[in-house]
Amino acid sequence: MKLPCSIGIAERAEFPGRPTVFMTQQINTYRAGPDEQGHFGIFGGRFVAETLMPLILEVEKAWDAAKEDPSFEEELQYYFKHYVGRPSPLYLAKRLTEHFGGAKIYFKRDELNHTGAHKINNCIGQILLARRMGKTRIIAETGAGQHGVATATVCALFDLPCTVYMGSKDIARQAPNVFRMKLLGAEVKPVTSGSNSLKDAMNEALRDWVANVENTFYIIGTVAGPHPYPAMVRDFQSVIGREAREQMMEAEGRLPDSLVACIGGGSNAMGLFHAFLDDPEVKIYGVEAAGHGLNTDKHAASLTGGRPGVLHGNRTYLLQDDDGQILEAHSISAGLDYPGIGPEHSWLFESGRVEYVSATDREALEAFQLCSRTEGIIPALEPAHALAHVGRIAGDLPKDHLLCMNMCGRGDKDIFTVAEALGVEL
């Protein structure tokens, strides 16, 4: 495996299970990115309008300072533990393991977090940063509504006004989350431009930000956007992988053999993967949404069906036509319905460290039902895509193969979509 760059040993100690020989020598790493300009290889960067640039630089400076400040970390850990409910369990899914008859399947239970998904990890981190920067108003974009709910939640907690942009198409299919956001005191602004979906919500949030840079902090919900967002969101989410690592060591005395996570923008996946990127023996799968199939024009698989381009502040793989116009993505899961992907994933894809695959709407629906019946866990449609891939590979793997999947969200929000897809009237 080709390793792209070198760093010192300082980062090693946090990882139980790492061979101690690494402690004494210079090693190569996949974990040192991005560079100072926010690039992961050719991906990432800061492609934003000048009005935003000074603020982007200010966010970067504040984030660099916060990272070095023990009181920031202390505050973050306090809320992770007492408010979010971390650590989330690592759970051996026995019946699914039996069902597939191969690999031992573990779920990292981030759906048990407060608000029901991994999104809150990042929102707590960013709102603490916004407070440090003295910002008095929060905006966010949301697709499935999980990030919107998590943002509205932390805004209620810290008493900051909150505006969430959401595509009108998503408002229709995620009604419970819309109501949740309103209950939490947020203003939900429907977005009717473009494809009325997540990318358009992000455009609209950026437009709001341009007009309100002085008092407003934009809590981006995934590992995308201009630098430092992809790195910052990853850092907040990487608690998932650090915990999983420790928990797997405790449960099995060794690292997992494979990791699986679904990818829209890719924050839950980066969160799980990051702690394991330099363990070449750990096989890593990212699962994109194949919608109606990769051979149709209705999917959201940016890596397998797109090519590099520039959108929303970063260079990354995008679904686009021959003229560089961004295409509408499609997925049954609103959270994966995005024509781009975080730049670090594009880099991990090209470097070959992570294998990116996809699952269709239909496969996700089947996995959704299977998981509900066999484990008593109704997964969100997003991790149902990850589970679909688990179902594809688990049976052929040996029984001592340790597979860890990120159960990054719970499915209550999706029951209406699923009912409709199954032809059930509620």
Partner 1 sequence: MSEHADSGRIRRRFETLKAAGRGGLVTFVTAGDPDYETSREIVLGLPQAGADVIELGMPFSDPMADGPAIQAASLRALKRGMKLAMVLDLVRDFRKQDDETPIVLMGYYNPIYSYGPERFVADARDAGVDGLIVVDLPPEEDEELCLPALKAGLNFIRLATPTTDDDRLPAVLSNTSGFVYYVSVMGITGTTSAAEGAVRTAVERLRRHTALPIGVGFGIRTPDNARAVASVADAAVVGSAIVERIVAGLGDDGSPAPGLAGKVLDFVRELAAGVRGREGPE
Q: List contacts with partner 1 (CB under 8 A).
A: 37, 45-55, 193-194, 199-200, 203, 206-207, 210-214, 309-313, 315, 318, 320, 322-326
Q: Pick the closer one to partner 1 by CB: 56 or 282.
A: 56
To the nearest whole angstrom, how small is the minimum distance from the Cβ of residue 310 to partner 1? 5
Q: Pick the closer one to partner 1 by CB: 49 or 175.
A: 49
Task: Give the residue from 333, 422, 329, 330 showing the smallest Cα distance to 384.
Answer: 333
Q: Pick the closer one to partner 1 by CB: 51 or 77.
A: 51
To the nearest whole angstrom, how small is the minimum distance from the Cβ of residue 313 to partner 1? 8
Q: Pick the closer one to partner 1 by CB: 114 or 207.
A: 207
Q: How far apart (Å, rounded) are the C-alpha atoms in residues 239 and 77?
A: 10
The pairing of beta strand 313-318 with beta strand 307-311: antiparallel
Q: Pick the closer one to partner 1 by CB: 85 or 194.
A: 194
The token duo for 55 is 């603020």
H-type helices in 212-354, by residue range?
229-237, 239-252, 267-273, 302-305, 343-351
Task: Give the residue from 107, 104, 92 showing the smallest Cα distance to 401.
Answer: 104
Estimate the crossing angle of helix 229-237 against helix 119-132, to 10 degrees.
120
Residue 151 identity (one-letter amino acid): T
To the nearest whole angstrom, how small is the minimum distance from the Cβ of residue 37 to partner 1? 7
Q: How far apart (Å, rounded) are the C-alpha atoms in residues 96 and 274?
A: 26
Inter-residue contact 332 to 365 (CB < 8 Å):
yes
Q: What is the Cβ-side half-sphere exposure of residue 54, based on CA atoms within 13 angstroms?
A: 5
* Secondary structure (DSSP) of 87-152: SPPEEE-HHHHHHHTSSEEEEE-GGGSTTSBTHHHHHHHHHHHHHHTT--EEEEEESSSHHHHHHH
To the nearest whole angstrom, how small is the minimum distance from the Cβ of residue 178 to partner 1? 23
Q: Pick the closer one to partner 1 by CB: 159 or 322.
A: 322
Q: How far apart (Å, rounded) are the C-alpha atoms in residues 165 and 249?
A: 41
Q: Pick the closer one to partner 1 by CB: 20 or 325.
A: 325
To the nearest whole angstrom, how small is the minimum distance from the Cβ of residue 316 to partner 1? 11
To the nearest whole angstrom, how small is the minimum distance from the Cβ of residue 307 to partner 1? 8
To the nearest whole angstrom, how small is the minimum distance from the Cβ of residue 85 to partner 1? 36
Q: How far apart (Å, rounded) are the C-alpha atoms in residues 247 and 270?
A: 18
To the nearest whole angstrom, how small is the minimum distance from the Cβ of residue 57 to partner 1? 8
To the nearest whole angstrom, how small is the minimum distance from the Cβ of residue 323 to partner 1? 5
DSSP 325: P
Q: Pick the closer one to partner 1 by CB: 8 or 324.
A: 324
Q: How far apart (Å, rounded) are the C-alpha atoms in residues 22 and 25?
A: 6
